[in-house]
Amino acid sequence: MSQFNPLTKLIAGCLIAIGVLVALLPSNGPNRSGESLMVYCAASLRRPLEEVAARFEGEEGVSVQLQFGGSNTLLSQIEASRQGDLFLSADRRYLDVGRERGLIGEIISVAQMRPVVVVRRGRGDSVRTLDDLLELRLASGSPDQAAIGRVTRDLLRAAGRWDAFDQRVRTAGVYKPTVNDVAADVVLGSVDAGIVWDALAAQMPELEAISLPELAEGRSEIGIGVLTSSKAPAAALRFARNLIADDGGAEVFRSYGYQAVATAEGRGTTESGAPP
């Protein structure tokens, strides 16, 4: 004699049928397309990129993995591994170097940042000049690892003050691998001041930003490049173009304090082609 009556069998059959139908339905998850992207991203751009990536996953069904670090450090990783799909750099010059080395194809300009001095909020009166800054414990991005470090070095060399700044950091401060590490040291009180990007300072209410004449001409152009190693170049290009869409990444970057590159200066301009 069967253990199941006809009603039980009917219910069981219906449940099995429902399960099969659910399995056949298209997924609404982040990887419903089956594609995935690996994006190397400058540490200073973490917050806006995480938001843009989450939106892209939801809209496109493409899984996006993010790897953060100093721009120069990331470029070295890309060259060593020859893997990944995109490189979002805090300084356009690293993208140009990557193209020269055959690592990057298309490049798109995204936004701009400028360097500023930061101190703990309420301590802005402690720094009015560069000489004041050189009396404090300092954190600076490493010129060999982070875009902010290279830009700082170039500006202070032009002003004839790099040697004094470098000596002060080495004797009464610290070089850090990313600009986020510089900001964190100032927030924690490990140092008195540091030089970071203005957009990053705007995201941290604990910090107060100070402009100095020696840094005033500094600008860094944020750009994204599609890697020649990409296994999903079409999806990578869609992600890159989404970063400059007014209803996409551009809106997000503006909300975090980044300055859009003016159209006349190349915002949204794409450059493609093999390296010379």
Residues making up the binding site for molybdate:
44, 71, 179
∠153-158-161 over CA atoms, to 5°? 70
The closest of 84, 229, 94, 107 to 148, measured between CA atoms, is 94
Q: What does 161-202 look like in DSSP terms, one character per residue? A: -HHHHHHHHHHHEEEESSHHHHHHHHHHTSSSEEEEEHHHHH
**Cα–Cα separations (whole angstroms), residue 180 to 35, 133, 147:** 30, 19, 12
Please report which residue ranges of 71-143 form alpha helices under DSSP H. Answer: 71-81, 92-100, 130-133
Helix (H, G, I), strand (E, B) or coil at 228: coil
Q: Which residues are annotated as a binding site?
A: 44, 71, 179
For tokens 């300009």, name the residue: 109
The alpha carbon dihedral of 98, 108, 145, 232 has a sign of negative
The first and second tokens of residue 269, run together, are 């301009």
